[in-house]
């Protein structure tokens, strides 16, 4: 993915007379984890969509290799940060899931190395074998990822933006609530409803794609 231009305030950037997209403003808010150059609005939007759509897969992949839920979530956050920092290495149209799992795999290796003193089991060959098994499992979920992408596009713009903001580096429900001037509970409920809509849409889409008739 090619980066272009110097970083400027979003208000000072236009593409063909059109102000930088809302995705560009999100990138501006989180520019500290990006390269020193700015992605084009189209590249920004594509990358945000991909990293959002692949969160469930990445979480499941990491949990399959790190059973502890809290530690798996920490590794997921580290993986997301690395993905954002290395965004320029990804080319639009390539297999984002495969690339992201590779990044996650090395974060998992780093986790086990860092925690050897806690007597956690670490054997590079064992972790590699486990990762290969998990890779085979998750590589079969292309249909699910396609359905998720389809369902994300069906969301109203505000809902899609909210769920995408949730997975930006450093994001949290509290931070979103502060930025939106809404109660934390209200934002949590909105995210829950969006996830339910996505879950139902995905199930419906998968049934339709498999040839089942839904009423």
Same domain, 64 and 41: yes
194 lies in the same domain as 94: no
Q: What would the 3-class secondary structure string for the chain be? A: CCCEEECCCHHHCEECCEECCHHHHHHHHCHHHCCCEECCHHHHHHHHHHHHHCHHHHHHHHHHHCCCHHHHHHHHHHHHHHHHHCHHHCCCCCCHHHHHHHHHHHHHHHHHHHCHHHCCCCCHHHHHHHHHHHHHHHCCCHHHHHHHHHHHHHCCHHHHHHHHHHCCCCCCHHHHHHHHCCCHHHHHHHHHHHHHHHHHHHHHHHHHHCCCCCC
Q: Last residue of some domain: 120, 138, 156?
A: 138
Based on the fold, state whether residues 33 and 134 are members of the same structural domain: yes
The residue from 103, 138, 173 where one domain ends is 138
What are 151-194's pLDDT values in tens digits?
888 889 888 888 877 776 677 888 889 988 999 999 999 998 98
- Identify whether 13 is part of a domain: no
Question: pLDDT tens per residue, the chain (215 residues)?
Answer: 433 333 333 333 333 333 334 444 444 455 444 543 556 777 777 888 888 888 888 888 888 778 788 888 899 999 998 998 888 888 877 888 888 988 998 898 888 877 765 544 445 555 555 555 555 555 555 677 677 778 888 889 888 888 877 776 677 888 889 988 999 999 999 998 988 888 888 888 877 655 443 32
Residue 40 lies in a domain: yes
Q: Are residues 28 and 134 in the same domain?
A: yes
Indicate which CATH number applies to the domain containing 180. 1.10.10.10
Overall number of domains in the chain: 2
**Residue-number span of the structural domain to which 193 is assigned:** 142-209
pLDDT single digits (tens) 88-100:
888 877 888 888 9
């Amino acid at each position: 993915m090619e980066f272009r231009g110097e970083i400027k305030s979003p208000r000072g950037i236009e593409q063909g007379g059109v102000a930088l997209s809302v995705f560009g403003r999100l990138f501006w808010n989180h520019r500290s984890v990006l390269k020193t150059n700015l992605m084009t609005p189209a590249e920004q939007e594509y990358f945000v969509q991909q990293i959002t759509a692949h969160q469930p897969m990445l979480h499941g992949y990491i949990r399959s290799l790190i059973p502890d839920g809290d530690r798996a979530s920490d590794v997921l956050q580290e993986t997301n940060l690395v993905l954002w920092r290395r965004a320029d290495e990804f080319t639009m149209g390539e297999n984002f899931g495969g690339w992201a799992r590779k990044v996650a795999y090395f974060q998992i290796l780093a986790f086990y190395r860092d925690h050897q003193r806690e007597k956690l089991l670490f054997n590079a060959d064992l972790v590699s074998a486990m990762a290969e098994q998990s890779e085979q499992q998750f590589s079969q979920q292309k249909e699910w990822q396609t359905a998720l992408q389809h369902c994300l596009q069906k969301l109203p713009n505000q809902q899609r933006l909210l769920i995408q903001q949730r997975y930006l580096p450093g994001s949290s429900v509290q931070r979103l609530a502060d930025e939106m001037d809404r109660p934390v509970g209200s934002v949590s409920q909105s995210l829950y409803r969006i996830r339910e809509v996505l879950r139902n849409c995905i199930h419906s889409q998968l049934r339709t794609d498999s040839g089942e008739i839904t009423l």
